[in-house]
Structure 1
Amino acid sequence: MLSDVHEGLRSFTAYAVLLSHVVAERLGLSATDSRCVDLLNRHGPITAGRLAELTGLTTGAVTGIVDRLERARFVRRDKDPADRRRVIIRLVPERENAAFAELASMTGRVDEILARYDDRELAAIADFLKRSGAGTAEEIARLREATEKSTT
């Protein structure tokens, strides 16, 4: 049974990546730019530095991404009211809605699948996904740290 779960995860992950690329392409974005739109949707308005932390990209790379997203009218830069030296990046609501409308069909499919499970099973699925996400984030950090050590 464990091997079935591993194989299911590999398949799901591969298709999720492909779906992400197709949606990005339909929106006229690169996969990385699209991922930043998703992060802004999940985390709300944030600084470029925070976006760099979330993506693992350099602040210079994130500046380029934000420039492209701003030109495509997906984001806007606003002065931080608490610190006028800082800039906050926020999604433009109309473009955000258009981006996530592309995923409405998939969201519906996921809801149909999840409707087959009772609350106890859903709690187990949610726990698994939460732990898997945290474990993946830790693995990313470990690999980045190992890469930094090997290049210095």
Structure 2
Amino acid sequence: MTSINSGWSRRRAAAGIKASLRALRNQMSLLNHQVGARLELRDVDLDCLEIVQEHGPLTPSALARRAGLHPATVTGILDRLQRGGWVARERDPDGPDRRAVLVRALKDRNAELLGLYAGMSTALDGLLAGYDDDQLALLADFLRRTTEAGRTATEELGRD
């Protein structure tokens, strides 16, 4: 009887975690939408800016692959980001020809961006302060592995 209750309890806990992750995704999407509105950027622009900040400099094609977007769509996004002073396109010295470019994030507006996320960052600092080092390591591992599962699922859908 214990294993039946334990199995039910585990499934219920797993369902609760999945529901919480969906709620977190929705809330973060709403936060990003508000940040984007303040900066006059679309949600997808913010997504691409984050990719360039984390993985750049990169070619527009590499950005398109990472973002799961058509290259023509990325061109429009990069035009908006460049006009806004978020990124620069520079000649790729290792590129196959003179037309090859790299996209690099500019740091000029980082303080503005960080300021808009300051409330969430402060709230997270307070939340994380309630966990010990082992719990933080567990949470970090879970989030890293969840992110990787999401990346894999995204790549699989992109191949269809």
Normalization by structure 2: what TM-score? Answer: 0.84
Larger radius of gyration: 2
What's 2:30 paired with? 18
Q: Deviations over 1:62-107 (max 9, x none)?
A: 1111011111121111112333442111122112332222112211
**Partner AA of 2:25 in structure 1:** T
**Partner AA of 1:3 in structure 2:** A
Question: 67, 73, 77: which one pairs with 1:55?
Answer: 67
Greater shift in the superposed pair: 1-10 or 50-59: 1-10
Q: What 5-or-longer segments of structure 1 have no aligned partner? A: 147-152
Residue 149 of structure 2 corresponds to residue 135 of structure 1:
yes
Distance 2:70 2:16 in 1: 38
What's 1:91 paired with? 105
Deviation at 1:11, TM superposition (A): 1.4
- The alignment covers a number of residue pairs equal to 146
Q: What 5-or-longer segments of structure 2 have no aligned partner? A: 1-12
Question: 66, 75, 83: which one pairs with 2:78?
Answer: 66
What's 2:3 paired with? none
What's 1:76 paired with? 88
- Please list every run of at least 4 consecutive aligned residues from structure 1 whose deviation after the TM superposition is greater than 4 angstroms: none
Q: Tell me if structure 1 keeps the 8 A contact 2:85–2:108.
A: no
Q: Tell me if structure 1 keeps the 8 A contact 2:89–2:101.
A: yes
Normalization by structure 1: what TM-score? Answer: 0.89
**Partner AA of 1:92 in structure 2:** L
Secondary structure of 1:46's counterpart equals coil
**Partner AA of 2:136 in structure 1:** L
Distance 2:152 2:41 in 1: 28
What's 1:103 paired with? 117
Identity of aligned residues (%): 36
Distance 1:121 1:78 in 2: 43
